[in-house]
A and B are shown apart, each in its own frame.
Chain A
Amino acid sequence: MRRKTNYRESGKIEMDYFDQMWSRLATLGKLVGKAPNQYLGHTAIMKLTYFLQVLKKVPLGYDFRFYYYGPYDSDVLGDLNYAECLGVVNSEVEYYPKGGYGYRVSRGKAADEIDEKAKDFLKKYEDDINWVIQKFGNRNASQLELVSSIIGMSLDRRKDGNPFSLDSIVKKVKKIKPHFEIQQIKEEAQSLLDAKIILSK
């Protein structure tokens, strides 16, 4: 009797715990491997995973909540931690010349092996992973923080059934992200709208 998890895709397919874990780890490995510089920071990984789930409906089973630093599920970092233990990814701290630090996560030598375990999942969602990388892979953490907040705000608005208003989304984002300029938020929101990544209806 294998342990069944809460993971359901369209209410039809039930995967067991390990299937879900391989899918998640393989997705993380793919994201960092396909990134323009072959590595990503933690913010980028969190946000790209969020985009995969909310924009492309890739069933990763994460439960994103909002913190002041944007959409977040600690399971993503937990999986990243385990991915590192298994050698799916490598991670190193990077200190910036002007102060501060970040993490540089790259594809590890065991990643191919995990890809093999999750090959059906990857085959099904590879286009979505490519789309997310193509649209957002070259954005820096600050831009991704802003984009994910606008997308999250827009999705919440649709869920609540409130009419679309770019201004109200901009105002709400500004409130939780005071370090962004209004103009910058407005331009980003407009470009997401133009690209039909957020919808006005």
Chain B
Amino acid sequence: MANSNRLYEFRCPVFGFIELNDWERDIISEPAFQRLRRIRQLALTDYVYPGAMHTRFEHSLGVMHMATLLFDGITQRSKEILENDYGFNRDGLKRSRVIVRIAALLHDVGHPPFSHASEELFPLKKNKGSTVHYKHEDYSAAIVRYKFKSIIEDHKINKNYDIKADDIANFLEGDQNTGEILFWRNLISGQLDADRIDYLLRDSHHTGVSYGKFDWQRLVNTVEIIPIKYDSSMNFIGVNESGLHAAEALILARFFMFTQVYFHKTRVAYDFHLRKAMKKILSNKKLPSPKEKNLDTFLEWDDWKVLGFLSQGEGGEHGQRIRERNHYREIRHTPETPVQHDLEILEKWRDALGKLLMAEELASKSWYKLKEEDIPIITETKVRSVIPLSNLSTIVSKISATKKVSLYVKKEDVDEAENKLQRIGEN
């Protein structure tokens, strides 16, 4: 009889070895997980950074590994809070750890082809008073619920935990029915989360851009639960004083990776072309919604399928531009944080360019958010006090939200567009 406690090691270019048990190995053997080998992490970023060919598959393993390190660090340093405030005993923590690992492993199974590049092709949904696009988290939760149900619930190792697919799906969705486990959701989605730590390190490694590197070991060794008395008293995940600069470096790494890699003008242009080409390829101009009946069709869509269409000449003008690497050229962009005057100039550019303007793309991100997402730092003095990172780090406090708008024209129109813009005297 096979030993169900056996561990398997996977080589990882960022962390060395990542260990999985039988259950986790069976989960990753599921077709819906193997599909992640065919979803590139950074879409067509390799058109700019040739090494960026890595996939959601290795990222998902990395997130599971990092979430475990953070979880272990927290339980080691904050056991008392977990026991007193949440009632977690040894078994409760053991079960939470398993849920966190599986949720981390599966958090990205709902990504569409080319990851974020095609997320605008998700259909619209009504959610809490507004109409918004579905997010890949909605797809991940649905896929976990219906496609991983059996492998999660019926696996022999699960006899020790009685974990339901719904537990993992609710956790990923941020459903209130998740119960006290919801506390751990910040390890997958928050300012100091495993997803962020992994993608920065991994994308940095594969693109060859060093901006994304930071001292993650220090973070793991200093992370703990920090009770904060705002106008209410709540527990947050933060670091002790020794991790201050590692936390600061994480925020800066993210800022640099976005401005230098993720928002690179050519990469942004290819996201646009991909979206347009896929719209042509998809029969309804959008991806199917994450309803149970649609999941098989959704899961058929991966990068290979899209590239297959493109290689057969499909995708219209934008498919051709991708095949020939003939992207739209950025002709102007606003500052990263445009103020009203900059936006008035943008209006003038638009008017001057008229029909030459082919695409207007927004690079929007808030690098550091306060309150729930401010990283609390706790002193190591006898009487411990808590100070938000934004108050300890001048650099972090000065990073403003990015709302950069870029205007694109066809390559052959660049000269004419320049002339038009120079005529209005705004550069």
Question: A64 to B128, Cβ gap below 8 A?
Answer: yes
A167 located at the interface, meaning its Cβ lies under 8 Å from any Cβ of chain B in the complex: no
A121-139 interface (Cβ within 8 A of B)? none
Question: A2 to B129, Cβ gap below 8 A?
Answer: no
CB distance from A199 to the nearest CB of B (A): 15
Interface size of A in residues (CB-CB distance below 8 Å): 70
Contact with A along B334-350 (1 / 0, CB 8 A): 00010110010000001
User: CB-CB < 8 A to A21: which residues of B?
Assistant: 403
Main secondary structure of the interface of A (DSSP, over half): mixed
CB distance from A144 to the nearest CB of B (A): 8
Question: A67 to B185, Cβ gap below 8 A?
Answer: yes
- How many Å lie between the Cα of A167 and that of B160 in the bound state? 30
Question: B232 to A145, Cβ gap below 8 A?
Answer: yes
B426 located at the interface, meaning its Cβ lies under 8 Å from any Cβ of chain A in the complex: no
Contact with A along B347-385 (1 / 0, CB 8 A): 000100000011111101110111111000000000001
Interface window among B62-70, B145-153, B174-182, B297-305: B174-182
- How many Å lie between the Cα of A149 and that of B403 in the bound state? 31
Known: A85-B401, A145-B232. A66 touches B182 (CB 8 A): yes
User: CB-CB < 8 A to A65: which residues of B?
Assistant: 137, 173-174
User: CB-CB < 8 A to B359: which residues of A?
Assistant: 1
Main secondary structure of the interface of B (DSSP, over half): mixed
Question: B387 to A153, Cβ gap below 8 A?
Answer: no
Known: A2-B360, A85-B337, A176-B176. A93 touches B391 (CB 8 A): yes
- How many Å lie between the Cα of A56 and that of B131 in the bound state? 14
Question: A63 to B127, Cβ gap below 8 A?
Answer: yes
Interface window among B212-220, B223-231, B411-419: B223-231
User: CB-CB < 8 A to B128: which residues of A?
Assistant: 50, 53-54, 62-64, 71, 155
User: CB-CB < 8 A to A110: which residues of B?
Assistant: 340
- How many Å lie between the Cα of A153 and that of B387 in the bound state? 32
Question: A67 to B400, Cβ gap below 8 A?
Answer: no
Question: B182 to A77, Cβ gap below 8 A?
Answer: no
Known: A53-B128, A59-B130, A103-B370. A85 touches B400 (CB 8 A): yes
Closest to A54 in B: B129
Interface window among A3-11, A27-35, A189-197: A3-11
Question: A98 to B229, Cβ gap below 8 A?
Answer: yes
- How many Å lie between the Cα of A156 and that of B170 in the bound state? 12
B245 located at the interface, meaning its Cβ lies under 8 Å from any Cβ of chain A in the complex: no
Question: B340 to A86, Cβ gap below 8 A?
Answer: yes
Question: A91 to B370, Cβ gap below 8 A?
Answer: yes
A45-75 interface (Cβ within 8 A of B)? 46, 50, 52-69, 71-72, 74-75
CB distance from B47 to the nearest CB of A (A): 22
Question: A101 to B360, Cβ gap below 8 A?
Answer: no
B222-250 interface (Cβ within 8 A of A)? 228-235
Question: B339 to A86, Cβ gap below 8 A?
Answer: yes
B313 located at the interface, meaning its Cβ lies under 8 Å from any Cβ of chain A in the complex: no
Closest to A66 in B: B174
- How many Å lie between the Cα of A80 and that of B309 in the bound state? 42
Question: B362 to A3, Cβ gap below 8 A?
Answer: yes
User: CB-CB < 8 A to A141: which residues of B?
Assistant: 230-232
Question: B400 to A101, Cβ gap below 8 A?
Answer: no
A17 located at the interface, meaning its Cβ lies under 8 Å from any Cβ of chain B in the complex: yes
Known: A17-B362, A81-B401, A86-B339. A93 touches B229 (CB 8 A): no
Q: Can you report 20 residue pairs joining A to B where beta carbons are below 8 Å apart?
A: A46-B372, A55-B129, A59-B129, A65-B137, A67-B186, A68-B186, A68-B234, A77-B370, A78-B364, A78-B401, A80-B369, A85-B400, A93-B391, A96-B231, A100-B229, A101-B387, A156-B177, A176-B178, A178-B86, A179-B85
Q: Measuring CB to CB, which residues of chain A are less than 8 angstroms from any residue of chain B?
A: 1-3, 6-9, 11, 17-18, 21, 41-43, 46, 50, 52-69, 71-72, 74-75, 77-78, 80-82, 85-86, 91, 93, 96, 98-103, 110, 113, 140-142, 145, 149, 152-153, 155-156, 172, 175-176, 178-179
Q: Measuring CB to CB, which residues of chain B are less than 8 angstroms from any residue of chain A?
A: 85-87, 120, 124, 127-133, 135, 137, 173-180, 182-183, 185-186, 190, 228-235, 337, 339-340, 343, 350, 357-362, 364-366, 368-373, 385-388, 390-391, 400-401, 403, 405
